[in-house]
Copies of this chain bind each other. A is one copy, B any other.
Amino acid sequence: MDIGIIGGSGYTGGELLRLLSQHPEAKVMAVTSRSMKGQKVSNTHTHLRKIYDLIFEDLTPDEVASRSDIVFTAVPHGTAMQVVPALLDNGVKVIDLSADYRLKTDVFEKTYKMKHIDPRDAVYGIPELHPEVAEQKFIANPGCYPTGASLAAAPLADAGLIERVVFDSKSGISGAGAEPTLVSHYPNMAENIQAYKLTSHRHRAEIVQELTRLDSGLKSISFTPHVIPSVRGILTTAHIFVKKELNEEDVSEIYRDFYQDKPFIRLIQGIPMLGSVRGSNFCDIGFEIEKNSDRIVVISAIDNLVKGASGQAIQNMNLMFGLSETTGLWTPALAP
């Protein structure tokens, strides 16, 4: 497969390149960046020295499409909708890593406070929840928080058992991007933890969309994100209040059945942690049932740049091309 990447200078672009270098069927043919035009890709992504000889180019969507079987758009929201139509018109497959096509158009416009110039349906690319990914030409790749949150709660939502859920998520700071900011300034982030957008993070809309798709009666879905002094990873603590009493075997069975034959989901006995998934496409899930209470705590751990972004995009690509979804992605985490 010939691959094009639009927007290759950020973290998700770099991560696509890193992961695709290990993919036996993929060859990157074009990487665009307006600001880095003419420079070596490995000047920006120094970890890719000797791995790629590519140069960042400033190309039109048509030019990228002409070299590619599939194009990944790793650009900010609002920008993707400007290039996706031309790519699709060229007949190439497209996976959009931005937020532009993840939500119903009206929800998108309300959430992102902008007009959508290319209203269009797209399958939401969490393959474990959307097997129809395999038949698509166009995929909206999910947000990082919604991936961790939805995978943690989906089995219980699907079983209609959730009364109320509070997602308290803790993300590595790479999720905020490659541009230095006051929050990502080392002296501010180190030895700290920063809660933000306590009740209004835009990713909540994706979580609501996914969980109410599974259980239309689910009304109370709360989400509060934090950044922690880690580079990668999202740990989601899902405080789930259930409608009826469940024991450990009940819950285990619900999760086992729901995630049967899903290679990247690892249901574990203990408590998931970022250290077990760093750099990999796995999502580890564990849980504990509170005694004398209607609360179940489900924990999921993902790498925000892999399962939460570029790895999941390649998983989607594999399925869209009829490959095994693990092709090029069956690599363990880096630990310690």
Contact = CB atoms under 8 A, between A and B. Distances in A.
Nearest to A231: B187
B335 A293 contact: no
A97 to B, nearest CB: 17
Contacts of A333: 47
Contacts of A228: 170, 193, 228-229
Interface in A174-212: 174, 178-182, 184-196, 198-200
Interface residues of A, number: 82
B332 A18 contact: yes
Given A168-B168, A180-B182, A192 B51 contact: no
Contact of A224 (B178, B187, B239, B263): B239
A150 interface: no
A45 interface: yes
A192 B14 contact: no
Given A185-B180, A191-B191, A222-B293, A263 B50 contact: yes
A226 interface: yes
Given A178-B336, A193-B233, A195-B273, 20 more contacts: A11-B187, A21-B332, A47-B333, A49-B276, A168-B168, A173-B186, A184-B187, A185-B186, A186-B231, A188-B336, A190-B190, A191-B191, A193-B273, A195-B237, A199-B293, A199-B295, A200-B291, A226-B235, A228-B228, A279-B334
